[in-house]
Structures are given as structure tokens and as C-alpha cells.
């Protein structure tokens, strides 16, 4: 519900969030004119980031997911704001779990940040200054078991992923304080842990 400071309620059009299982991710724009929240529909077949005009109560969808079966809000949803006008959004809309760059004022997708027959498992680090992401991914190496966890770095503004891990196994990274170096520890059920020192700029083995 939306109220002015004087206590007058501004009616809202609730058609886009009529049956909530949860409402979270609440946030005001810097100028105080727009209120944002993430609506997770009961039954989990709709998941939307909505924007409310604080003056009129009008509600619009910034970005959202709909499914006839299930939107995986628990393991495959993620939203990260980049200033006021852009955000990163996780979605399975092309059949694989990937990241998208969204124009907030217009509610349009500017770019699919990751793409291919593999999936983003989680976002491990966001470097907003360099506009890069460090991601935990699965299935990126077709010669390996698709359940092996690997790491890549991608640019928000386009280009191919930089592989940070190569070995045939599941990987964990330990970073130096300035993130210039990392130790890659990887193993398999039939291989004891291997420890490798890598250079972060290009993933090269040191």
C-alpha cells in the first residue's frame, strides 16, 4: 500500500501482483518517484520486478518470468542493480540459465550477457567499475561431466567468457586480497585435489 507523507492513500493497480507468495527486493529510486519490488506469484508461475509510480499508483513490469509449470525462484533467480537505469537479471527463458542486462526505464533487455548450451549456477563476484562478472557455471566444457563446477569471467558489455578453470573436475577458487591471483583447487571422485596458481587477468596457469 502506498501513502503520501500526509497520510493520503494512493490507490494501486494490483493486477500485476494480485496473488503474492512473497514480495521483496523493495527499493526506491534515487529521486523518490518510483518504488520497485519483486513479486513472486503463489504457485511460482510468475516472477516479476515491478515499478510503481509514486505519484499516480500506476504499476509496470520492468522484467519478469512466466512459466506454465514453475519458475525456479529459489536457485535460478538473481537481480543486481547497476546504478539507477540498468540491472542484471537471471533467467531460464532461452532454455538455459543465463544473465541479461535490462534497461530499467524502458523495461527492455539490452543484451543477453551469457549465452550457450551451458548454465550459470551462481554469480560469485560483480566488479561494477570494470563491468565484469565472475560466474560459477556448469556444462561449459562439452568434453567433461556437465555437473562439474567451473568458473568464468564475462563482460557485462559483450564478448566471449574468459575461462578461469580448465581441469577435468569440480573447482573452487581462493582469491588473493586484490583479486590479481587465485588458487584453483579441483578434484573428481577418482582424482585427489589438485592446486594451481593462476593469473586473474587471463586465467593463465602460473
Question: What's the whole-model pTM score?
Answer: 0.94
CA distances from 35 to 8, 22, 25, 86, 159 (A): 17, 16, 10, 15, 33
- Tens place of pLDDT for every residue, the chain, 206 residues? 999 999 999 999 999 999 999 999 999 999 999 999 999 999 999 999 999 999 999 999 999 999 999 999 999 999 999 999 999 999 999 999 999 999 999 999 999 999 999 999 999 999 999 999 999 999 999 999 999 999 999 999 999 999 999 999 999 999 999 999 999 999 999 999 999 999 999 999 99
Q: Which three cell numbers stand for residue 50?
A: 515491478
Residue 15 sits at φ, ψ, to 5 deg, of: -65, -30
Q: How many Å separate Cα 191 from the centre of its chain? A: 32
Q: How many Å separate Cα 153 from the centre of its chain? A: 14
> DSSP strand E in the chain: where?
2-3, 9-10, 20-28, 34-41, 46-53, 59-66, 79-82, 86-91, 98-103, 108-112, 119-127, 132-138, 149-155, 162-163, 170-175, 181-188, 191-199
CB 62 within 8 A of CB 36: yes
CB 58 within 8 A of CB 13: yes
Amino acid at each position: 500500500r502506498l501513502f503520501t507523507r500526509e497520510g493520503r492513500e494512493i490507490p494501486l493497480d494490483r493486477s500485476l501482483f494480485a496473488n503474492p507468495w512473497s514480495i521483496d527486493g523493495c527499493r526506491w529510486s534515487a529521486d523518490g518517484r518510483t518504488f520497485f519490488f519483486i513479486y513472486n506469484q503463489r504457485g511460482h508461475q510468475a516472477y516479476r520486478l515491478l515499478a510503481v509510480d509514486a505519484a499516480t499508483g500506476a504499476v509496470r513490469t520492468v522484467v519478469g518470468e512466466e512459466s506454465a509449470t514453475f519458475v525456479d525462484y529459489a536457485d535460478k533467480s538473481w537481480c543486481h542493480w547497476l546504478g539507477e537505469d540498468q540491472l542484471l537479471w537471471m533467467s531460464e527463458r532461452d532454455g538455459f540459465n543465463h544473465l541479461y542486462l535490462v534497461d530499467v526505464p524502458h523495461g527492455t533487455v539490452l543484451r543477453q550477457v551469457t549465452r550457450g548450451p551451458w548454465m550459470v549456477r551462481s554469480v560469485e563476484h560483480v566488479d561494477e567499475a570494470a563491468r565484469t562478472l565472475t560466474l560459477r557455471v556448469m556444462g561449459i566444457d562439452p568434453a567433461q561431466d556437465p555437473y562439474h563446477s567451473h568458473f568464468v569471467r564475462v563482460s557485462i558489455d559483450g564478448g566471449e567468457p574468459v575461462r578461469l578453470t580448465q581441469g577435468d573436475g569440480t573447482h573452487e577458487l581462493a582469491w588473493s586480497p586484490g583479486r590479481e591471483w587465485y588458487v584453483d583447487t579441483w578434484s573428481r571422485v577418482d582424482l585427489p585435489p589438485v592446486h594451481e596458481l593462476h593469473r586473474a587477468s587471463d586465467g593463465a596457469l602460473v
